Structure 1
Amino acid sequence: MNTRERQALVLPAPSHGQARDQKGSVLVEFAFILPVLLMLLFGVVYFSVALYNKTVLTMATREGARAGVLYDADGNNTANAVNAALPLCSSVISFGSDATPVPQASVSGDILTVTASGNYTGFYIFSGLTTSAQTSMRLE
C-alpha cells in the first residue's frame, strides 16, 4: 500500500460544528445508564448482607447446639444453648431497625434443636426478607 491509499483510508476528523452538536449526548446516555448501575450495585450489597446474615445465624445455631449437647447434670441444655447462641445473633446487620434474632432451643428425645430467625429490614424494595437457621445435634 502506498501513502496515497493509506491517506484515503483515514477518516476525516469531525468538523467543529459536528463536535459541538454531540457535546451533551454523553450526559444523556449516562442519565439513562445510572439508575440501572445503581440498582445493580444496591442489589449486590443487599444480597451480600443477606448472605452474611444467613451465615451468622447458621454459626450461632451451631455454636448453641454445641454448647447445649454437652452433659449438664442440672439439665439446663436448652438454656445453655440459647445463652451460647445469643451473642452471635447480635452481630446480624440490619438497615433501619434493631431487630436482633432470638435463638430458641428444644429437646425432643435425645436430639437438641436450636433455631434462630430474624426479619431483615433492608431497602424499601427488598424489605421483609426473613433469614433463619436450624441445627440439630444428639445429646451426650
Structure 2
Amino acid sequence: MTTPRRSGRPDHGSGRWGGVGIFPGPHGDRGAAAVELAIVLPVLLMIIFGIIDFGRAYNQRLILTEAAREGARAEAVGANASQQVTNVVNNRFVPTVSVTPCPTGAAPTPPSATVNLTATFKPITPLGKTLSWNVMTARGVMTCVG
C-alpha cells in the first residue's frame, strides 16, 4: 500500500485556516472584538444621541408653532392669547409670549393679530449640550374678525 502524497505545504497549527499568516487561527485574534467595539461605540453613541435630541427639539418646535398659531387665532377672535398659548404648551416648557393685538379703527389692509413665541430647548444628551441650537422662535398671524 502506498502512502498518500502530501501537498508539500507544512502544517502550521490547528484550526480551520491554519495558525499563521493572514488567518491566525483560534487563539491569534484575542481582544480584536474589544478593539473594534472601542472604535465603533463612540460613533454609534453620537448617532443615537443625535437622534434623541433632534427628535425632542423637533417635537418642541412643532408644539411652539402650534401654540403661536392658536394664540394668534385666540387674539383674532378677541380671546386671551397668552392663556391659549399656555393651554397648548401644557407646562412642557415656558415660552416668552409677545402679542400684537388687532388694531381698532379702519385700516386700508385687513388687520391681523400676531403672536411671537421664544423658548429655550434643553437637551438631555452630552452631544446636544455642545450644539448651539437651543433658542427657538415661532410666529402666528391671523386676520382679525369683526
Same-fold status (TM-score > 0.5): yes
Q: 2:16–2:25: 8 Å Cα contact kept in structure 1?
A: no
Q: 2:76–2:102: 8 Å Cα contact kept in structure 1?
A: no
Higher Rg of the two aligned structures: 2
CA displacement, residues 49-92 of structure 1 (integer Å, 9 cap, x when unaligned):
1110100001101111111111x4xxxx5xx1111111222454
Q: TM-score, normalised by structure 1?
A: 0.72
1:101 aligns with: 95
How many angstroms does 1:128 deviate by?
Answer: 5.3
1:131 aligns with: 136
Decide which moves more: 22-31 or 126-135.
126-135
Gaps of 5+ in 2: 1-14, 104-110
Aligned amino acid, residue 44 of structure 1: I
Gaps of 5+ in 1: 1-11, 93-98
Paired residues in the alignment total 116
CA displacement, residues 90-140 of structure 1 (integer Å, 9 cap, x when unaligned):
454xxxxxx511322113642110111111121321255111110111111
Classify the secondary structure of the residue corresponding to 1:100: coil
- Quickly say closer, same or farther: Cα 1:120–1:53, change in 2 above 3 A: same
Larger helix proportion of the pair: 1
Q: Is residue 43 of structure 1 aligned with residue 44 of structure 2?
A: no
Identity of aligned residues (%): 27
Aligned amino acid, residue 135 of structure 1: G
Q: TM-score, normalised by structure 2?
A: 0.70
Runs of 4+ in 1 over 4 A off after TM superposition: none
